[in-house]
Structure formats: structure tokens, C-alpha cells
Amino acid sequence: MSSERLIYLPLGGAGEIGMNCYVYGYGAPDKERLIVVDLGVTFPNMDTTPGVDLIFPDISWLEARKDRIEAIFITHAHEDHVGAVGLCWERLQAPVYARAFTANIARRKMEERGAPENDVRVAEAWPEVVTAGPFKVGLAPISHSIPESSGLVIDSPAGRVVHTGDFKIDETPVLGEPFDREMWRKIAKDGVKALVCDSTNVFSKAAGRSEIIVGPEVEKLIAAQEGMVVATTFASNVARLKTLAEAGVAAGRSVCLLGRAMRRMVEAAVAEGILTDFPSVVSPEEAKDIPRSNLMLLVTGSQGERRAASAQLSNGKYLGLEVKEGDLFLFSSKTIPGNERGVIAIMNAFSEKGVDIVDDNDGLYHVSGHANRPDLEEMHDIIKPQILIPMHGEHRHLREHVKIADSKGIAGVVAVNGMMIELSGNRPEVVEYIESGRTYLDGSVQIGALDGIVRDRIRMALNGHVTVTLVIDEEGDLLGEPWCELKGMSETGRSNAPLVDVLEEDLSQAVGRADRSVIEDDDKLEELLRRVIRQSSSNEIGRKPEVTAVISRLS
């Protein structure tokens, strides 16, 4: 048995859907040469991450070993796979490989964060390979909901790993490469050590549906409309954009793209030669002069994002365009769990304007980009791996996926972020637990999820905030009275007097009664002030606020 080993280590995306980042290594323990697969983001929410702009994996482990990183591979251009490449590059400084369209988007991500665009290199599709230390990595075309998605064929001295990336089995994907069973069979024919496999739709029991079924339904829908038609989908689903735009044109409508992300994606797809026959579009300026019955808008914001075009339109005019009674708004998309509130708010805002809303409830106007359970099973059967490691799923998805492996006699393991798995043996083996976690882009700064900064913000949101000020003179005597300023708290409470007066009075008494030893000690005095405010607020308004105590000692 060689002393070298093959390892797999997820740092993001395993135990969650979002911020994908997977590491493979080969070499002597703790000396493995490493490759990174994907550097994605996930999106914040008010519940757990108020004020945060983006969330991405904690890459400290990688950063400490950056001299061992041979390359970064990006499977496809979705935000949860490519979104953090610009944010992380400075700390990793390894070349980034992707196919042309993905590289185009990756370069924009690098540019945005001041990272060197030239470090993004275009890789040709499998059977071409990129040599990265002990690895040879091929980017094998696989169908998904964005052009040029790749599964990775990762060859190492310990054998071949197939990392599916996000995928579905679609032989008629409208745009880009159909799923190629023959190619995958050939890739698998000499044996595959491990299949690291998308798990998103493991709970969907029906066979997956092809992108091609959407077009005819959308055409029927649009043809029946008399007002303006507005449709939204994921900006990156270029095939869907094409389907929607073509349905619009077929119904005699001019098409206008609204929203930066959507225009960017179409630009990139055109630039890379993927999108050759997209209908010509009109500018918002031109759209204003086109009769509503001849106009179709394709807009960003399928997830209810507050600043996207759909939300803007639901609130009023956007770039001079406006929805009216009798228009139609089509969600050609699925609401990602957790985004319901935003989407519903937009639906109701449109409803108030008399706009009819059609969504994916009937399953006619959207298909998923991920393999459903029968398709996952087909992939297992094609690849016939020795080991199955589910990824791209919450814990419940990974666990369910391992159950499938078990039922087929494939050695499976639930490997969540931070679990280093050795793949060299016949069965996967957990060899180490790495500290993994989340990093927040907060304004222009990167902060750790456990720094307590966001926790303090959540506490202020839940409890309100009191600033208490005390001035103490040169002799150590109180100068004037303690003084409170409240934020986010009721102005009056139980006693009907202004809360600020009650607090100041209680503080005054407490400080008056306090020992000299407390007054002279900043920590003790602060503790006293905090305790009095929390107790007194609790009596008055049933709430214990966050407290900032400012003690000014004149000297």
C-alpha cells in the first residue's frame, strides 16, 4: 500500500445548498497537492445574517496551504459555484480553469474584486485535460440550467473520481450540449473510484423533464395575451431566456431585457458563441413606444429580490416602463425555499395593479436543472462507482442519497463541510475534521461568521439599544445625572411615564447608592448601569435591551 493518499474535503455545499467549494488532494498525508472545485456564494437573509452582502466558505484551511494548491476549477457559472472566485482569489493565488462561457463570467467576478482576470484560463472540454500536479482534470459537458456546465473527470494515481457538478439528464436542452450517455459510459468503463454527485432533487421521485417541453406551453400562454407580457426566470438560464424570447417573437412581440444580470448573461453567451440566434431585442427606450400588445419584457428578479427589475416594476415605473391592468406576469421559475416572502410580496403588488400572475404551480412553465431521483439512479448505473459521495444538498438530501447507494451496494458516506474523506481504500474513510465555516462580505469587508458582529446586530434588532452616558469629574464624583438615549424601543411602558425618564431616574438612584469602589471601577460601573437598564426596561416594557455604556472621566 502506498503511503500516498487521495482525499476529498468539502468546505461548502455539503450539508447546505449554496456556496459550493470542494477540495481534492493527492500525496503523502499533510503534503497532498490540492485542487479546488468551485468557489461559490450563498445569499444572506434577515433571520440569520442581517446586513450581510454575500456569504462564502471559510477558506482559512486552504489559505494556510496555498503553496499546495495546483489549480481551481469552476464547473459552471452559477453564483453558488463561481460567485466567490474574485473574493477568494487573493488569498489562494492559484490559476482558475473553466470552459469559455464560465471563464467569461469568472473573469467578471475577478475584475469586480480587483483580482487578475488573466488568471482565469479557458479549458477545452473533455477529452482534453488540464494537468494539475498529480491530477489530470477533464471538464466533461453535462446538461444543467446554464450553458457549458461541466462534470469533472479527475484522474489521480489512486484512480478516477467523477465530480458531477450540478446536472440533470436532458437530451434536448434547447441550448448547449445534450446529456451524452455514451461519453459518460466511456469515462466509466475502466472503473471509477468515486462518484461525487449532485443531490438537490433526491426527494423528487418523478423522472426529470427536459427544457424543451417549456417552449410550446409558453407560446400558447403568450399567444393568448392582449396586454403586455412580462416574464422572469433565473438570469443565467440562457436556454430559458431563448425559449421565452422566441415565444414572444412568435406571438408578434418585441422583446426587451430588463436587469443587469440578464443582459450580462446574454452578452457573455453571445460573446462566447453559445447563443447565436437570440431574437433581436429592443432597448427600454424603444420599448416605450411599442404598443403593449406587441411587447414582452424579460426581467430579473424571479426570487423576489428587492432591487431586481421585477420588484421595481411591481412598485411603479422602471426605466420608463410600467405594468397596467390586463398585463401578464409569468414566473418561469421555481421559488427557492426561503424566498417565498419576497416572491409573494411581488405577486400581490402586481395583483394590486390588475396584473394577472402565472407561476409554476401547474408545472407547465418551468423545469428543474437538477437530476431527480430516477436520473440520479441512472447516473449511478452509468458510472458504477466504488464509492458514492453525495454533495450539493442539505443534510437530509445527502442522507437520502446515501440510502440509495446503500440499497445498491455502493459504499456511500454522508460527508458534510469539514469532513476530510480518504478515498484511497475500498471504502470511504473519515480521516480528519477540518474547521470549516462561513465568511461574510459585509459592506466592503470580509468578516467571520463567528466574530459576533452579526450576532450583535441581531440582538439590537430583537431587543433595541440604549446608550447610557455618565460624566465623572476629577474627584471621582458624578457630574450631573446619568443620561439615556433609546433606539428601537417603545417610548412609554407600564408606568405611562416616558421610558427614558424612568430609566434615568432608576440609574440615578442606583448610582447614588453605589459604593465608591464601583464608581471608581469602569467595569463594575458599566456592569451596574447595564443591569439597572435591563431590569428597569424589563419592568416597564417587557424587554431587555442591548446597552452601550459611555463613562467619561474628566482628568
Residues within the interface to a second copy (CB under 8 A): 15, 45-47, 50-51, 203, 337-338, 340-341, 344, 347-348, 350-352, 354, 357, 361, 394-396, 399, 442-445, 447, 451, 453-454, 456-458, 460-465, 467, 469, 471, 479-480, 483, 485, 487-494, 541-543, 546, 548, 550, 552, 554
Query: Which grid coordinates are listed for 463?
Result: 431587543
Which residue type is seen at 188? A
In the complex, minimum distance from the CB of residue 84 to a second copy, in angstroms, rounded to a whole number: 17
Alpha carbons 383 and 187: distance in angstroms, whole number: 8
**Which residue, 252 or 480, is less far from a second copy as judged by CB?**
480
Could you tell me if 232 and 332 are in contact, meaning their C-beta atoms sit under 8 angstroms apart? yes
In the complex, minimum distance from the CB of residue 522 to a second copy, in angstroms, rounded to a whole number: 13
Alpha carbons 121 and 72: distance in angstroms, whole number: 10
Cα–Cα distances (Å) from 521 to 113, 482, 526, in that order, read 46, 16, 8
Could you tell me if 134 and 27 are in contact, meaning their C-beta atoms sit under 8 angstroms apart? yes
Query: Of 362, 343, 341, 243, nearest to 296 (Cα)?
Result: 243
Cα–Cα distances (Å) from 149 to 29, 36, 144, 179, 482, in that order, read 32, 17, 6, 11, 63
**Which residue, 178 or 488, is less far from a second copy as judged by CB?**
488
**Which residue, 156 or 537, is less far from a second copy as judged by CB?**
537
Which residue type is seen at 276? T
- Cα atoms found within 13 Å of the Cα of residue 142, Cβ hemisphere only: 28
CA–centroid distance for 98 within its chain: 19
Phi first, then psi: give them for residue 547, nearest 5 degrees: -130, 130
**Which residue, 450 or 550, is less far from a second copy as judged by CB?**
550
Task: Specify burial of residue 534 (Cβ count, 10 A radius: 0-12, 13-18, 19+).
Answer: middle
Which residue type is seen at 17? I
In the complex, minimum distance from the CB of residue 368 to a second copy, in angstroms, rounded to a whole number: 14
In total, the chain counts a number of residues equal to 555
**Which residue, 3 or 361, is less far from a second copy as judged by CB?**
361
Q: Given 3-state DSSP classes, what are the helix, strand and coil percentages for the chain, each rounded to the nearest 5?
A: 35, 25, 40
In the complex, minimum distance from the CB of residue 340 to a second copy, in angstroms, rounded to a whole number: 4
In the complex, minimum distance from the CB of residue 129 to a second copy, in angstroms, rounded to a whole number: 37
In the complex, minimum distance from the CB of residue 362 to a second copy, in angstroms, rounded to a whole number: 8
Could you tell me if 106 and 57 are in contact, meaning their C-beta atoms sit under 8 angstroms apart? no
Query: Which grid coordinates are listed for 422?
Result: 480518504
**Which residue, 276 or 444, is less far from a second copy as judged by CB?**
444
In the complex, minimum distance from the CB of residue 424 to a second copy, in angstroms, rounded to a whole number: 27
**Which residue, 483 or 514, is less far from a second copy as judged by CB?**
483
In the complex, minimum distance from the CB of residue 534 to a second copy, in angstroms, rounded to a whole number: 12
In the complex, minimum distance from the CB of residue 185 to a second copy, in angstroms, rounded to a whole number: 33
**Which residue, 39 or 454, is less far from a second copy as judged by CB?**
454
In the complex, minimum distance from the CB of residue 419 to a second copy, in angstroms, rounded to a whole number: 13
**Which residue, 127 or 452, is less far from a second copy as judged by CB?**
452
DSSP 385-396: EEEEEEESEEHH
In the complex, minimum distance from the CB of residue 20 to a second copy, in angstroms, rounded to a whole number: 17
**Which residue, 317 or 494, is less far from a second copy as judged by CB?**
494
In the complex, minimum distance from the CB of residue 489 to a second copy, in angstroms, rounded to a whole number: 6
**Which residue, 191 or 338, is less far from a second copy as judged by CB?**
338
**Which residue, 351 or 535, is less far from a second copy as judged by CB?**
351
Residue with grid cell 460527508, as numbered in its chain: 415
**In the sheet that 356-358 helps form, which strands lie side by side, from edge to edge?**
254-258, 295-299, 229-232, 328-331, 356-358
Alpha carbons 274 and 431: distance in angstroms, whole number: 43
Query: Of 431, 375, 308, 373, nearest to 143 (Cα)?
Result: 375
Gyration radius of the chain's alpha carbons? 28
